[in-house]
Amino acid sequence: MSNFPAPSPFAAAWPLDPAVVMLNHGSFGACPRVVLDRQQALRERIESEPVRFFMREIESLLDASRETLAGLLVASTDDLVFVRNATSGVNGVLRSLRFEAGDEILMTDHEYNACANTVRWVAERTGARAVLAQVPVPVVSSDEIVERIMERVTDRTRLALLDHITSPTAVVMPIERLIARLAERGIDTLVDGAHGPGMLRLELERLGAAYYTGNCHKWLCAPKGAAFLHVRRDRQRELHPTVISHGLNSRRPGHSRFQDEFDWTGTDDPTPWLCVGDSIRFLESFEGGLAGVMRRNAALAREARELLCSRWGAAPICPVEMLGSMAAMALPPSPGKSEPQTANETGSAFAIHPLQTALFERFGVEVPVFFWGNPPQLILRVSAQLYNSRAQYEYLAEALGILLREKHEKTP
């Protein structure tokens, strides 16, 4: 086994554990020191005089952070509110809309489990029906995805919940084409863009989705609990946060009812939202700005996938042009061992596969490994952020080789 690999020179900007090779930025993100310092300063400012902060200061700070984010997203500030995470954004939309018995909510089998659960929960309580479009793996092309989704559309389809980048399979979906095709049928799209901001260039006004929610704490590297919900102007009237508070009947000059409701849902820590602008400025400070960071990360993810597939026979999930800053691949099946019949037989959403545990405990590599699909396949997903280096993926390939050989040797 080679020496423990060095991260990239940019890693010093993050408070990362030097004993861990972090190849899983996609799950929870990682916040740089300078942004964490800003967050701590804001927290101390709040606690020095909470009434002054929440009654006199927070509004201008929140508006400034929203304005910076709106500039990045090419969106109007009037159509943008902060939420805690993309799951909260999805809940805010699905639990605001009125569904009737027989209505259909369309999603794919690649949808993030938490958001798919929200669809099922809403459908169960309203008499609506959750409809699943199956997108086979490996994905052959974006045309195939569009075809598979559109063939599940009926006259009862009210809404489509679609990932921009799928979480388990790391596929960049042809979301612009899908929004347009669904709109032709009179169907609104709710885009689960959890991985979108900071991985892909977004122009939300041009994209035209009725609803788009995305995390800032993943690829924009903001503190945990920073996300947004963008709602097209003609759809804002029916939207409410999952927590109803003062904004329902309290109006502020220069703000919409939409913003009044979402900006204040009760006393909470607002510092993740207030640091979003700082996170964007941090990433823009690198050579080539955020656009350069995104190009660099995408290139490294592709390089990592090519390395692992060529070294250990892993099978790519999708064409290379459908990759962003993550890449998922199916590991070769273990000889003589049957895989579970369904992916949920592996346990809860937080269950950790034994191979993932072995990589972490024996080699200090943090990378997700899980069963997914129908029939289930063993998936490994790598992420690429500024702090990662090619040497870390080489090290992963070496560690994976040792574990796979040991497994084969133990198989009778």
At residue 346, the pLDDT reads: 37
Pairwise CA distance, residues 150 & 127, whole Å: 23
Mean pLDDT by 10 residues, the chain (412 residues): 92 97 98 98 98 96 98 98 98 97 97 97 98 96 98 98 97 98 98 98 98 98 98 96 90 90 94 98 98 98 97 94 98 64 47 94 97 91 98 97 83 60
At residue 404, the pLDDT reads: 85
At residue 324, the pLDDT reads: 98
> Angle, to 10 degrees, between the axis of helix 142-150 and the axis of helix 175-184?
30
Can you give the length of the chain in residues? 412
User: Contact 81/67 with Cβ under 8 angstroms?
Assistant: no
At residue 312, the pLDDT reads: 86
Query: Which amino acid type is present at position 207?
Result: L
Query: Which amino acid type is present at position 354?
Result: P
At residue 313, the pLDDT reads: 87
Residue with tokens 């009044």: 260
Pairwise CA distance, residues 274 & 263, whole Å: 12
Pairwise CA distance, residues 33 & 373, whole Å: 38
Residue with tokens 């790391």: 170
Pairwise CA distance, residues 133 & 151, whole Å: 8
The pTM score is 0.95
Pairwise CA distance, residues 53 & 195, whole Å: 31
Pairwise CA distance, residues 272 & 104, whole Å: 35
User: Contact 266/245 with Cβ under 8 angstroms?
Assistant: yes
Q: In sequence order, which residues have a C-beta less than 8 Å from that of residue 62 and are 6 or more positions away?
A: 82, 263, 270, 273, 274
User: Contact 260/237 with Cβ under 8 angstroms?
Assistant: no
Give the helix/strand (H/E) hosting 265.
Answer: none
Which ranges of 254-353 would DSSP assign to H, the alpha helix? Answer: 257-263, 271-274, 276-284, 289-312
Pairwise CA distance, residues 297 & 100, whole Å: 44
Kindly list the distances between the CA atom of residue 36 and the CA atoms of 69, 185, 283, in Å, as whole numbers in the listed order: 18, 45, 14
Structural domains of the chain, with CATH: 9-23+288-410 (3.90.1150.10), 36-283 (3.40.640.10)
Based on its alpha-carbon atoms, the radius of gyration of the chain, rounded to whole angstroms, reads: 22
Question: Residue 101, Cβ neighbours under 10 Å: how many?
Answer: 8
